[in-house]
Structures are given as C-alpha cells and as structure tokens.
Amino acid sequence: MSAITRDQVAHLARLSRLALADDELDHFAAQLDQIVGAVARVAEVAADDIPPSSHALPLTNVFRPDDVRPGLTPEAALSGAPAVEDDRFRVPRILGEEE
C-alpha cells in the first residue's frame, strides 16, 4: 500500500521545512518506501473496536496555582539567539515583498 515516490518525498520535505538536495530526495524515497512498507503491518492486528492509546498513563490535566514566579531574564532568554535587536529575537522577513 506504500510506494513512496520522489514527488511525495519532495512534498514531505516542504511540509517538514527541510530544503533537501536532489540526490537526497532519491535516497530518502527508496528508504522511506521500505520503512513504510514494513510498518504498514500495524493494519493486520488492531480491529475497529480497539480504542487507540496516545499515552501509557491515564492522564488528566495538571493545574498549579496561578502565582507569579521568577522566569528567565531577557538576557538569559536571548543568550542563544542567532540574532538579537533591542531585547528581541531578530528574524528574517516573514511576509513576501508583495504582501
């Protein structure tokens, strides 16, 4: 049921924000096809009446009192930033020229 094509890998790379080179697309297409073919076996067992589990523990929301607590200073928060300006993260443009 798999058959991952080169075009599909290019689409997945775009969704994953990975600027892959042409030779990488071919390489990953063959490998992902093999992996998806193998993991598709999960369809063999689990029937419709089996509930899915996202987690091993029975989870409930955890709340804490809404108290003010110390957090990172601006210097600490920005300490690993690739570029900083006026106590802020400096980022490349997020809108196109025409927008």
Partner 1 sequence: MSLIRKTAAELGALVASREVSAVEVAQAHLDRIAEVDGRVNAFLHVDAESALTQARAVDERIAAGETLGPLAGVPIAHKDVFTTTGMPTTAGSKILEGWLPPYDATVTRRLREAGLVILGKTNLDEFAMGSSTENSAYGATHNPWDLSRIPGGSSGGSSAAVSAYEAPLSTGTDTGGSIRQPAAVTGIVGMKPTYGGSSRYGLIAFASSLDTPGPFARNVLDAALLHEAFSGHDPLDSTSIDAPVPAVVEAARHADVAGMRVGVVKEFGGEGYQPGVLARFNEAVELLESLGAKVVEVSCPTFSYALPAYYLIAPSECSSNLARFDAMRYGLRVGDDGTRSAEEVMALTRAAGFGPEVKRRIMLGTYALSSGYYDAYYGQAQKVRTLIMRDFEAAFQQVDVLVSPTTPTTAFPIGERADDPMAMYLADLCTIPTNLAGNAAISVPCGLADEDGLPVGLQVMAPTLADDRCYRVGAAVEKAFESRWGGPLLSRAPAL
Closest CA to 9 of 31, 39, 42: 31
For partner 1, the binding residue among 59, 86, 87, 98 (CB under 8 A) is 59
For partner 1, the binding residue among 22, 45, 86, 87 (CB under 8 A) is 45
From its phi and psi, is residue 87 left (phi > 0), alpha (psi between -120 and 50) or beta? left
From its phi and psi, is residue 17 left (phi > 0), alpha (psi between -120 and 50) or beta? left
- Is residue 79 near partner 1 by the rule CB under 8 A? yes
For partner 1, the binding residue among 6, 26, 46, 85 (CB under 8 A) is 46
Lookup result for tokens 């196109």: 96
CB of 66 vs partner 1, minimal distance in Å: 14
- Is residue 39 near partner 1 by the rule CB under 8 A? yes
- Is residue 68 near partner 1 by the rule CB under 8 A? no
Q: Decide if 8 contacts 29 (C-beta within 8 A).
A: yes
- Is residue 30 near partner 1 by the rule CB under 8 A? no
